Amino acid sequence: MRHWDPDCWLNGDTYYALSGGGNPLLMKSSDLKTWTFLGPLLHDAYPANLGVPRGEDISCANMFKIGNKWMLLCISHGLGCRYYLGDFKDEKYLPDFQAMMSWNGNNFFAPESVLTKDKRRVMWAWLLNLPVAPCGVQSLPRELELPKDGVLRIKPLKELEALRYDRNQEEGITVKSDTVHPLKKISGNTLELEVAFQASTAKEFGLDVLCDNTGENGVRVAYLPESKTLKVGKVPAPFELKPGEALTLRVFIDKNLVEVFANERQAAVAAGRYVPENLGVNLFSKGGDAVVKKNISAWKMKSIYAPR
């Protein structure tokens, strides 16, 4: 499979392309010059239990092979970024799974993706109205993988590590139930943080970033096992740890914008109020202890723009 542009792809010896948004139409060609109209993209056997109806808006469509499935990465204008997984039957797309990537209305919007030279699928999206309205910025690039277990992996682009400098770490941390543990060596508003918590019986645990000098008014990154939720600020994303599984968080802070990746299975982004002097980082736990495996690491992050 070779990827040509956001809505044209090669499957075997045949090129396929989409036209229109909302309910896109499918065409095929053997030479990219003469096209045959195939009708609506979605198969008539579209399952009724995917979470969205067959007529749900499909716009900004991007079709590509990932693992043993075809992914349709797209938006609904009201729902934001989402994706289907499935295959083609009778030259129609028949999804068997659908999931969201936007957790705060349509703030994660208009996705695009490319296939790198080393065959990584990399996507990014428009953070609509984030960190300030009525505009927005581009999200961090995300690498997508679909291993044999069929669960989509989402992780930060590995090249982001080239922006790291001045590493700090703290170790031997146990956050007692219903307490806050301020970090002494780690603070800032242009950081990457990486922390792994051992499996915990706590009702809620995680970290607060961009805190003021009292430890308050930050952006909370929390796992709530009872509701199976990863919460970043006010943004809740569905996420569940397996029994006995540790929670590994990679947290990227850019002034007041916070992007979080959890166990390479979920990602969410939120923005807080920008206060330049709010730089503190605290760990917290409620309803049980939370133990950090090994250490929490932090790197300051350089700008992507080379100095002039």
State the Cα–Cα distance between residues 24 and 6, nearest whole angstrom: 13
Is 273 within 8 Å of 209 (Cβ atoms)? no
* Sequence-separated (6 or more) residues with CB below 8 Å from residue 15: 4, 8, 9, 28, 29, 30, 31, 32
The domain 3-159: what is its CATH number? 2.115.10.20
CA distance 72 to 127: 20
pLDDT given at position 308 = 57
What secondary structure letter does DSSP report for 2? -
Residue boundaries of the structural domains of the chain: 3-159, 164-301
At 133 the pLDDT is 87
Q: How many CA atoms lie within 13 A of 50 on its CB side?
A: 21
- DSSP states of 92-154: EEEEEEEEES--STT-EEEEEEEE-TT--EEEEEEEET-SSTT-EEEPPPEEEE--TT-PPEE
pTM of the model: 0.94
Output phi, psi for 160, to 5 deg.
Answer: -60, -25
Which pLDDT belongs to residue 298? 98
Q: Is 157 exposed, middle or buried (0-12, 13-18, 19+ CB in 10 A)?
A: middle
**Mean pLDDT per 10-residue interval, the chain, length 308 residues:** 58 90 90 95 96 94 96 95 97 97 94 96 96 92 97 98 97 97 97 97 98 96 98 97 97 97 98 96 98 97 82
- Measured distance CA(282)–CA(187) in Å, rounded: 9
What is the DSSP track for 178-216? Answer: TEEEEEEEEE-SEEEEEEEEPP---SEEEEEEEE-TTS-
Fold of the CATH domain 164-301:
Jelly Rolls (2.60.120)
Q: State whether residue 165 is helix, strand or coil.
A: strand
